[in-house]
Amino acid sequence: MKKIISCLLACIMIGGMSLTAKAESVGNIDDLQNYILKRSDELPEGCDLNADGVINVIDLALMKQFKRTRQLEPMETIHTGDATFYGGGYEGGCAMLDPVSRDYWITAMNIFDYNTAQLAGAYLEVTGELGTINVLVTDLLPEGKKGDLDLYTDAFPLIAPVKKGRVPCSWKIVPLDTADNAPFTYKYKEGSSAFWCGIQVRNHRYPITMLEYLDSSGKFVEIERRNYNYFESMDLGAGDFTLRITDIYGNCVVDKNIPLTPDVDQIGHVQFPY
């Protein structure tokens, strides 16, 4: 705050055995591989990536494929640009994260890095000549060039003298602190129903690049994302939903039994691994 595995032996070992996940774990490659190879008794939550009720090497292969094909940038990538300041973002920001806690410093982000809300809700470590702070991306800076940030007025003085107005800065994505011991939450857009639904994922450790739902044929279908940070579809139905969520580093988890509750933020069961 203001602060596949391509090992035939392994495939034979686990066969088609159905397993039960532990809610406190997270689905990542190392944990799943260790479980499959019987090096660990801990089965990570959210690792049934094809949602067939069976945890096996197919899920591990999918996890590795997602990591290889959907990673948008390496972790700890440093971005550079200019920092400015303005007085908005806590209410009515383009990321539609209201209410935004005053426990966080916030920023608007240039349209290139924001990338159709892909970095909405991202947690950034921003460094300037006077120091480093963490900020939450809640708004859009349409006129900014790639790398630029528009910090909240009270945050800017912590990285540079106010009189300069525009200064060079660097930033990188860091894990959201409130996601340390808590799962995703889901917020439904006003008017959501069995015939049309808008879903926003919150409290994600890293920025989300893709959200999919499991249709009646057992196939995952990508949900279109809007620039205002909602995924919208006319085909989800009345719920409960099985959702597959992928972050910008290719981490992927499946969250099951998510009801459609338009008036109440719904707590999920999984979180991205570190």
Q: H or E segment at 20?
A: none
pLDDT tens, residue by residue, 55-110: 899 999 999 999 999 999 999 999 999 999 999 999 999 999 999 999 999 999 99
Mean pLDDT score of the chain: 89
Instruction: Report the b/e string of 7-16 with b at 16+ CB within 10 A.
Output: eeebbeebee
Tokens (6 digits) for 216: 């009646």
Q: Tell me: pLDDT of 24 over 50.
A: no
Q: Which two tokens stand for residue 202?
A: 């919150």
Show me where the domains of the chain are located.
Answer: 8-69, 79-174, 179-267
What is the C-alpha to C-alpha distance for residues 50 and 61, in angstroms, rounded to an integer?
11
Architecture of the CATH domain 79-174: Beta Barrel (2.40)
Of all residues in the chain, the percent with pLDDT exceeding 70 is 90
Give 99's Cβ-side CA count (13 Å radius). Answer: 3
**Are 17 and 48 a contacting pair, CB within 8 Å?**
no
Fold of 179-267: Immunoglobulin-like (2.60.40)
